[in-house]
Amino acid sequence: MQPDHLALFILLAVLAEVAGTVGGFGSSLLFVPIAGFFLDFHSVLGITALFHLASNISKIALFRKGFDKKLMITMGIPAIVFVLLGAYLSKWFDSRLLELTLAVFLILISALLFIFKKFVIRPTRANSIGGGALSGFTAGLLGTGGAIRGLTLAAFNLKKDVFIATSAIIDLGIDFSRGLVYWSNGYIHRDDLYLVPILVLVGITGTYLGKKILNRFSEAMFKSTVLVLIFITGLITLSKHFSG
C-alpha cells in the first residue's frame, strides 16, 4: 500500500473503530467496506479478523466492569459454531459476489435500524441463540455481524459497559475462530501482515476515543450518525461493484 493510501487507511480505520465502539455495532460494519477500497475482499476478511482480535482485547480491558456470563454462553457458542461455517463457505463464493452481498446487507441493516429505532427483540434464550448464530454466520461469510449481535444484546437491557464487554468477548471468540479458517483458506497474506501492529494501535486508539465520546455525547444521536454513515458506505460499495 502506498504511503498516502496507508495514511488514509489508518485514519478511516480509527474512525470505524470509534463509530463501532459508540454505536455498539462493532467496527467491522464500517471497516470491512472501507478496507475493500484498499485490499481485495478475501484479504479484507483476513485482516479484519486480526484487527478485531486487537480491537476486542482493547474493549475488554477498557470496559471490564462486568460480563453477562449467561449471554456469553447462549450467544457465544452458536456464534463460534456458525462463524466457522460462514468462514469455510466464503471460499466457495466469488469475492465480487460477496462484496455485492455485503453492500446490500449494509444498506438494508442500516436503513432498518434507522427507521425502526424502537424495534426490539424479545429477551429470550431462543433469540439469544438465534442472534448469536446469525451474527456469527454473517461475520464468517461477509466479515461483519456486529449489527445483528448488537441488536440481540440490546434486548437484554444491559448496562453500557456490560453490553460492550459482553459483545467484545463474544466477538473475540468469533474472530479467533474465523481467523484460523481464513488462514487455512489463504486469506491472510504475508504481504499484509505489516498492517497488524498498525491496526493494534488503531484498535486501542479508536476504542479509547469511543469510550470518551460515550461519556460526553448523546449515544442515540451518535448511533443515528453512524447508521447514516453505514448506509452511505453501503451505497458507495454498491456503486464500486457495478463500476469496477
Sorting pLDDT into bands at 50, 70 and 90, what band is 171?
confident
Predicted pLDDT of residue 46: 92
pLDDT level of residue 81 (50, 70, 90 thresholds)? very high
> What is the average per-residue pLDDT within 134-146?
90
Report the distance separating Cα 110 and Cα 87, nearest Å.
23
Least confident of 79-83, 119-123, 135-139, 223-227: 223-227
Note the pLDDT tens digit of each residue in 175-189: 889 999 999 999 988
Residue closest to 184 by CA, chosen among 79, 94, 43, 88: 88
> The cell 460515550 sits on which residue?
214
Angle at 1 between CA 189 and CA 145, to 5 degrees: 60
Using alpha carbons, select from 226, 170, 236, 166 the residue that is nearest to residue 15: 226
What pLDDT, on a 0 to 100 scale, did the predictor assign at position 64?
65
pLDDT for the residue numbered 26: 72
Q: What is the pLDDT of residue 161?
A: 75
Report how far apart, in Å, the C-alpha atoms of 217 and of each of 2, 23, 55, 228 are: 36, 12, 22, 17
Range of the domain at 9: 3-243
- Which among 75, 91, 185, 184 is positioned nearest to 136, based on CA atoms? 75
- pLDDT tens digits for range 93-125: 888 888 889 888 888 888 887 887 776 678 899
Q: Is the pLDDT of residue 214 over 80?
A: no
What lies within 8 Å, CB to CB, of 205 at 6+ separation is 14, 17
Question: Residue 222 has what pLDDT?
Answer: 65
Q: What is the helix (H) or strand (E) element at residue 34, kind and residue range?
A: helix 28-35
pLDDT of residue 134: 92
Q: In this structure, are residues 19 and 213 in contact, taking their beta carbons and an 8 Å threshold?
A: no
pLDDT, tens digit, for every residue of 10-57?
Answer: 999 998 888 877 776 777 878 888 888 898 989 999 998 888 877 777
Average pLDDT, the chain: 84
Give the C-alpha separation, 69 to 189, whole Å: 35
Q: How confident is the model at residue 63 (pLDDT cuts 50, 70, 90)?
A: low
Q: CB under 8 Å to 70, separation ≥6 — which residues?
A: none
Q: Which of 6-15, 36-45, 58-67, 201-210 has the lowest mean pLDDT?
A: 58-67
1, amino acid identity: M
Rg (C-alpha) for the chain, rounded Å, is 16
What's the confidence (pLDDT) of residue 133? 95
Query: What is the number of domains present in the chain?
Result: 1
In sequence order, the 6+-apart residues with CB closer than 8 A to the CB of 96 are: 41, 241, 244
